[in-house]
Structure 1
Amino acid sequence: MEPDLLTEVILTHPRQSLGKVMLDWTPQPGNYLDLEGKTYAVLERRHRYQLKAGRYRLNKIALYVQSAARPAEKSFVEGRWVIGDASCRFNAHSELIRCAVNPEGPCDRCRYYETHM
């Protein structure tokens, strides 16, 4: 991300712009962003490029987010954080969803928990 480039943060539902911010990191889908005292989950990141002097240059970045609470349970798997206990065979290994059988959690009291082989 270019350091002097504003990033527009867009709430997906209801669709509205939350404003433009300067970020010192590159949020990926599944990351959480704190903005004006609220927490949002990043769902999508879009780049817009502009042709200038025969080269494409990054012109705009938009983050599409939804309001969310940071998950209390996280596991570090293959260099990234995922929601829930990754040792369970039903865990989705995703930054956005925990699992199909108990998406709201918590994992430690889930009756469907099975150790992943």
Structure 2
Amino acid sequence: MEPDSLPTEVILTHSRQSLGSMKLDWAPQPGNYVDFEGKTYAVLERRHRYQLRAGRYRLQKIALYVQSAIRPSEKSLVAGRWVIGDATCRYNACSEIMRCAVNPDGPCETCRYYESA
């Protein structure tokens, strides 16, 4: 195993079914997207699994709880993090997972409910 990569188990959230494992050199946060076996998944939750070795706990692997998703084409940078959609809209959820309540599938540019915040 390379020193900067950790075994990462990918698990479907709703069925708790393991899709398999891969090695990542980064730790995806909830709201990030990962590609696994040709499909794109949104990360909903990340759990760390530790192992006690020589009197110290060491990070052994990461478990990602995901759901199938389509990578959004519209993103805005808000307070140092990327959110889906146009963050200047009053209805934008300012979330990495959900665009807004009135038009969750988008796109923002042609939405009839757009109101400047």
Same fold (TM over 0.5): yes
1:46 aligns with 2:47: yes
Matching of residues 64-79 of structure 1 within 5 Å: 64-79=65-80
- Rounded Cα–Cα distance in structure 1 between residues aligned with 2:110 and 2:5: 46
Which residue number corresponds to residue 27 of structure 2?
26
Secondary structure (helix, strand or coil) at the match of 2:107 reads: coil
User: For 1:1-117, what aligned pairs fall within 5 Å after superposition?
Assistant: 3-116=4-117
Give the alignment's Cα RMSD to 1 decimal: 1.4
Whether the 8 Å CA contact 2:29–2:46 is kept in 1: the answer is yes
Alignment partner of 2:15: what SS? coil
How far the C-alpha of 1:79 sits from its partner, in A, is: 1.5
Report deviation, 1:67. Answer: 0.5
- Report deviation, 1:78: 1.6
Q: 1:4 to 1:98 in 2, by over 3 A?
A: closer
Per the TM alignment, residue 88 of structure 1 is displaced from its structure 2 partner at its CA by: 0.5
Give a deviation string over 1:15-46, Cα, whole Å, max 9, x none. Answer: 31111101121111000101111100011000
* Runs of 4+ displaced beyond 3 Å: none
Q: Which amino acid aligns with 1:68?
A: A
Instruction: Please report how far the alpha carbon of residue 107 of structure 1 lies from its aligned counterpart in structure 2 after TM superposition.
Output: 1.0
Q: Structure 1 residue 50: deviation in Å?
A: 2.4
Give aligned pairs, total.
115
TM-score, length of structure 2 as denominator length = 0.90
Aligned-partner Cα distance in 2 for 1:85–1:4: 34
Q: How far apart are 1:54 and its partner, in Å? A: 2.6
**TM-score (normalised: structure 1):** 0.90
AA of the residue aligned to 2:28: P
